[in-house]
């Protein structure tokens, strides 16, 4: 049977972001947020993407859900490719999602609590606790730790840090879900599903997914798009490093690395321009300014 990469964001959305799998999403949110959440509390904000955009890794496939009982809006995303500006991008998504919730003349009391959950396949933070892989962020007063507002809450789950932990038979619920997303298999997976039965349900959804020709095609399209994007960035960075070495100076190497990364960003932006994505969205994803993107459009 085809081996699925559970970190593929198209697959992730199919398992956690559909009406018929809200029980899986509710359990995942329960263990991440440490609050009991029932499936019927959740309503999904459908943001389906046309298949033509799936080959573009820069396209976003987040899961958005509302929790009616607590007046909360949640954004859940899977990120495989390492990003230097992940923290700012998450804040940008939070800000955009928050401002979408109010119209001119509305009362601010109607704004929901916004929760962002980023599951990432790269390291972002340095923790004192070597076993920590789940960070929870809020806005607190610097001296006394007083909470400014509960309107902002950000969770980051760093999957590579979970891989470093030795196998055990008393995994916590959030560790179990992290291991599932880390493509765990075999006897270890049996141990995990025994502790978290809803993961077995996710495996059932996975079995149906791989037997569906159209789903496999779209999944593979997304995988190819990711690999193409990462290869473009890697190639540009390598070219920049080589140019820096040829200069024979530390400054040249540093400039080469920077130029390589910038060229990778430009190539990604050109790909999105070719797909007629909005300039603001291209700027948000690529890290380039709108003016820089317009210049790319003029030069081809």
Can you give the pLDDT at residue 284?
Answer: 67
Question: 239 in helix, strand or coil?
Answer: helix
Task: Indicate if the pLDDT at residue 54 is higher than 60.
Answer: no
- Tell me: the pLDDT tens digits for 167-183? 888 899 999 999 999 99
Terminal Cα-to-Cα distance of the chain (whole angstroms): 43
Read off the pLDDT band of 116 (50, 70, 90): very high
Q: How far is CA 162 from CA 24, 56, 132, in A?
A: 21, 29, 8
- Tell me: the pLDDT tens digits for 231-275? 655 565 566 666 656 655 555 555 555 666 677 677 777 777 776
- Tell me: the pLDDT tens digits for 196-224? 999 999 999 999 999 999 898 888 888 77
Average per-residue pLDDT for the chain? 83
Can you give the pLDDT at residue 226?
Answer: 67
Identify the helix (H) or strand (E) that includes residue 267: helix 250-274
DSSP 21: G
How far is 205 from 20, CA to CA, in rounded Å? 10
Average pLDDT of the segment spanning 121-126: 92
Looking at the chain, the whole-number percentage of residues with pLDDT higher than 70 is: 77
- Tell me: the pLDDT tens digits for 32-49? 999 999 999 999 987 665
Identify the helix (H) or strand (E) that includes residue 291: helix 290-299
Residue 45 · residue 72 · CB < 8 Å? no
Domain boundaries, the chain: 9-211, 214-299
Residue 16 · residue 63 · CB < 8 Å? yes
Average pLDDT of the segment spanning 5-31: 94
The residue among 259 and 68 whose pLDDT is bigger is 68
Can you give the pLDDT at residue 103?
Answer: 82
């Amino acid at each position: 049977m085809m081996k699925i990469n559970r970190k593929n964001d198209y697959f992730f959305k199919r398992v956690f972001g559909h009406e018929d799998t809200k029980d899986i999403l509710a359990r995942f949110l329960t263990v991440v947020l440490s609050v009991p959440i029932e499936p019927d509390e959740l309503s999904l904000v459908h943001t389906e993407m046309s298949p033509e955009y799936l080959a573009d890794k820069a396209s976003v496939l987040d899961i958005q859900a509302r929790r009616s009982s607590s007046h909360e809006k949640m954004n859940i995303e899977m990120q495989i490719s390492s990003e230097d500006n992940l923290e700012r991008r998450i804040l940008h998504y939070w800000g955009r999602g928050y401002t979408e919730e109010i119209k001119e003349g509305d009362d601010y009391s109607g704004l929901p609590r916004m929760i962002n959950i980023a599951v990432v396949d790269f390291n972002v933070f340095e923790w004192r606790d070597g076993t920590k892989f789940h960070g929870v962020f809020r806005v607190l007063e610097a001296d006394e730790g007083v909470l400014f507002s509960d309107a902002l809450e950000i969770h980051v789950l760093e999957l590579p840090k979970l891989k470093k932990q030795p196998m055990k038979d008393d995994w916590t619920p959030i560790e179990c879900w992290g291991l599932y997303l880390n493509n765990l298999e075999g006897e270890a997976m049996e141990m995990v599903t025994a502790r978290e039965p809803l993961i077995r349900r996710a495996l059932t959804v996975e079995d149906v997914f791989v037997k569906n020709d159209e789903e496999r095609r779209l999944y593979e399209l997304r995988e190819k798009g990711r690999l193409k994007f990462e290869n473009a960035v890697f190639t540009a960075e390598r070219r920049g490093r080589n140019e820096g070495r040829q200069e024979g100076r530390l400054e040249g190497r540093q400039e080469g690395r920077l130029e390589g990364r910038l060229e990778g960003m430009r190539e990604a932006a050109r790909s999105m321009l070719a797909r007629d994505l909005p300039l603001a969205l291209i700027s948000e994803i690529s890290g380039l300014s709108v003016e820089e993107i317009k210049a790319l459009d003029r030069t081809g």
